[in-house]
Chain A
Amino acid sequence: MSVWEKLTSLPREVVMGLVIIAMLIPALSPLGLPLMTGQMSQDWYDTIEALPEGSVILFDIGYGSGGYPSLGPGTIAAFHQIFENDLKLVIMATALEGTLMYPLVMAAVQPESNYGAVYGEDYVFIGYIAGTQTAMAGVLGDLHELVTNDYQGNPISGMPLMDNVGGADDFAIVAYVTTSGDVAEGWVYQAYSQYNRDVLGGTLSMMTTSIKPYYDSGQLLGIMDGVKGAADLEFLTGHPGDAIVSSDILTFTQTLVLIFIAVGNISWFMQKQEGSG
């Protein structure tokens, strides 16, 4: 077997083993490689910055444990920015596991100790609402008719924040971070098309192509594009976290993938040349 033949058919174990090594090096020793903030994340950041103090944001945690490594850091960075700017948050979950992501995000943000935020006045978590687009329509239509208690079971009617929020008109913006295509597009249909609310969307990188047309047409004002978008937001908000470390890992692994693609093509081409020669 020639060298080119061997390089054309590297065993799966070798490829995956090298990917593990490429992941481990920056994970164990973060290098802080430079990154260029993308326009979509910059727009997300600028949109939040432009909101007047006290504006209410409806934020949907639409992912579970599978999406947390990619989308959790971005959610944390977004929450830091929101609390720093004295904005109010009504948080809901369109993913069943979103209720279990909420404490993880809040443990990292710590709004009470870091920003002096008060639950019920500055933020409220209304929990998981079944039905995806029906849930979105319900929350934007008549929130109090749909939700009477927050996730802890406390009545929302007595909460200062919730007394001023009844539906779509009371939200300055709707933001979501999700692994679901239905949720990603659903918010555009329900919040933008139905109620003309501004919308910010966060998804996995592989889903960005499907929601980018909404960004190009102005139906989404900004996109948090997976780990890269999360790293951008961490950088922009000045709260470096897991996403910036992950962007080093991305750099290593994706460079390795490029090397594999090059090796695969060169060896395949050379093998072909040898065969025809």
Chain B
Amino acid sequence: MDYKRDIPLAITFIVGVIAIGDYYTGIEAVTQTFNVIKNWGIVLQGFALGLGAVNLFRVHGRRLSARKEGTDWYFSGWLLLMLVVFIGLGLVTGEYEQGATYSWLYNAIYLPLGSTMYSSLAFYMAYGAYKVLRARNFDAALLFITAVLVIFGNTPIFPAIYPGFFHMREWIFGPIVSGAYRGVRIGIGIGAVVLGIKTLIGMETGYLGRR
């Protein structure tokens, strides 16, 4: 018997059966049991976050100590420094929940950086639209027309001037996009059910990690 394989498989099977039982039977005892399991899951996820932080120290600590030529090792140093500063500040001040100092540090450093990172996409999207959206052939022309109509519908002023732009966008989002996306979702759903059954009966063991 391979305990490293069989015990996780048995746990998966038992938890899976309880989850299915909760969904389909609605028996109070099963629901209560599944609630406890869900709570364990959330606690485990919390531990995973801690483990992630430890792993960050390991990976970036190694990069920092190696300081290989051509690698951006100084970013690893900066990451670890910030990690230490934020953790240290929380522990020293006890303000890890909603403290003024902690919030200030976050609002002054991370908030603008996070917003900037995301907002910078706008520039690349504008440049990408200029360079790529060209009606070179029939397929590209279809993409071009769709994109232009969606931009007209999404730009606040155009539908306000002529509501038809909004309805055109809605039509593209409806029969075309939703129709296609539903097909994709149904495919994913069927795949998920098959994967779930295979996992439950031990045919799918990828989640156990590399062995």
**Nearest-CB residue, chain B, relative to A267:** B134
Contact with B along A19-35 (1 / 0, CB 8 A): 11001000000000111
> A205 with B39: in contact, given A257-B126, A258-B148 (CB under 8 Å)?
no
Pick the contact of A66: B42, B46, B117, B135 (CB < 8 A): B117
In contact, A39 and B185 (Cβ under 8 angstroms): no
Pick the contact of B130: A153, A209, A248, A263 (CB < 8 A): A263
Contact with B along A191-225 (1 / 0, CB 8 A): 00010000000000100111011001000000000
Across-interface contacts of A212 in B (CB, < 8 A): 173-174, 177-178, 181
What is the CA–CA distance of A253 and B163 in the complex, to the nearest angstrom? 20
In contact, A250 and B31 (Cβ under 8 angstroms): no
What is the CA–CA distance of A68 and B32 in the complex, to the nearest angstrom? 37
Across-interface contacts of B113 in A (CB, < 8 A): 65
Interface residues of A in 95-116 (CB under 8 A from B): 96-97, 99-100, 103-104
Contact with B along A112-142 (1 / 0, CB 8 A): 0000000000000000011100110110011
Across-interface contacts of A248 in B (CB, < 8 A): 156
Across-interface contacts of A33 in B (CB, < 8 A): 156-157, 160
In contact, A36 and B129 (Cβ under 8 angstroms): no
The answer to the question of A73 belonging to the interface, with a C-beta cut-off of 8 Å to chain B, is no
> A251 with B181: in contact, given A36-B163, A256-B126 (CB under 8 Å)?
no
Across-interface contacts of B35 in A (CB, < 8 A): 138, 141-142, 145-146
In contact, B151 and A260 (Cβ under 8 angstroms): no
The answer to the question of A270 belonging to the interface, with a C-beta cut-off of 8 Å to chain B, is no
In contact, B97 and A153 (Cβ under 8 angstroms): yes
Pick the contact of A261: B97, B103, B129 (CB < 8 A): B129
**Nearest-CB residue, chain A, relative to B34:** A141
Interface residues of B in 41-55 (CB under 8 A from A): 41-42, 45-46, 48-49
The answer to the question of A4 belonging to the interface, with a C-beta cut-off of 8 Å to chain B, is no
Across-interface contacts of A88 in B (CB, < 8 A): none
What is the CA–CA distance of A33 and B156 in the complex, to the nearest angstrom? 8
Shortest distance between the CB of B67 and any CB in chain A (Å): 30
In contact, A254 and B127 (Cβ under 8 angstroms): no
The answer to the question of B122 belonging to the interface, with a C-beta cut-off of 8 Å to chain A, is yes
In contact, A228 and B127 (Cβ under 8 angstroms): no
Shortest distance between the CB of B189 and any CB in chain A (Å): 10
Which of B23, B48, B160 has the largest number of chain A CB atoms within 10 A? B160
**Nearest-CB residue, chain A, relative to B31:** A141
In contact, A15 and B130 (Cβ under 8 angstroms): yes
The answer to the question of B79 belonging to the interface, with a C-beta cut-off of 8 Å to chain A, is no
What is the CA–CA distance of A36 and B159 in the complex, to the nearest angstrom? 6
The answer to the question of A265 belonging to the interface, with a C-beta cut-off of 8 Å to chain B, is yes
What is the CA–CA distance of A152 and B125 in the complex, to the nearest angstrom? 41
The answer to the question of B56 belonging to the interface, with a C-beta cut-off of 8 Å to chain A, is no
Across-interface contacts of A70 in B (CB, < 8 A): 118
**Nearest-CB residue, chain A, relative to B169:** A38
Pick the contact of A257: B119, B151, B160 (CB < 8 A): B151
What is the CA–CA distance of A146 and B38 in the complex, to the nearest angstrom? 9
Pick the contact of A260: B114, B126, B161 (CB < 8 A): B126
The answer to the question of B101 belonging to the interface, with a C-beta cut-off of 8 Å to chain A, is no
Further contacts, 19 of them, CB under 8 A, given A213-B178, A228-B154: A16-B123, A16-B126, A19-B122, A33-B157, A35-B157, A36-B160, A65-B112, A68-B115, A100-B106, A103-B103, A104-B107, A130-B45, A131-B41, A194-B23, A212-B174, A251-B155, A254-B155, A261-B151, A264-B133
26 contacts between A and B (CB under 8 A): A10-B130, A16-B127, A20-B123, A35-B156, A36-B166, A65-B106, A66-B114, A66-B117, A100-B106, A103-B103, A130-B46, A134-B38, A145-B35, A209-B173, A209-B177, A209-B178, A250-B155, A253-B126, A254-B154, A257-B151, A260-B130, A261-B129, A261-B130, A263-B130, A265-B144, A268-B136
B-side residues, CB < 8 A to A, are: 23, 31-32, 34-36, 38-39, 41-42, 45-46, 48-49, 97-98, 103, 106-107, 110-115, 117-119, 122-123, 125-127, 129-131, 133-136, 144, 147-148, 151-152, 154-157, 159-161, 163, 166, 170, 173-174, 177-178, 181-182, 185
A-side residues, CB < 8 A to B, are: 10, 12, 15-16, 19-20, 23, 33-36, 38-39, 64-70, 96-97, 99-100, 103-104, 129-131, 134-135, 137-138, 141-142, 145-146, 151-153, 194, 205, 208-210, 212-213, 216, 228, 231, 247-248, 250-251, 253-258, 260-261, 263-265, 268
For the complex of A and B, list the 7 residue pairs with the smallest distance between their C-beta atoms, beginning with the closest. A65-B114, A130-B45, A260-B130, A66-B118, A34-B160, A254-B155, A131-B45
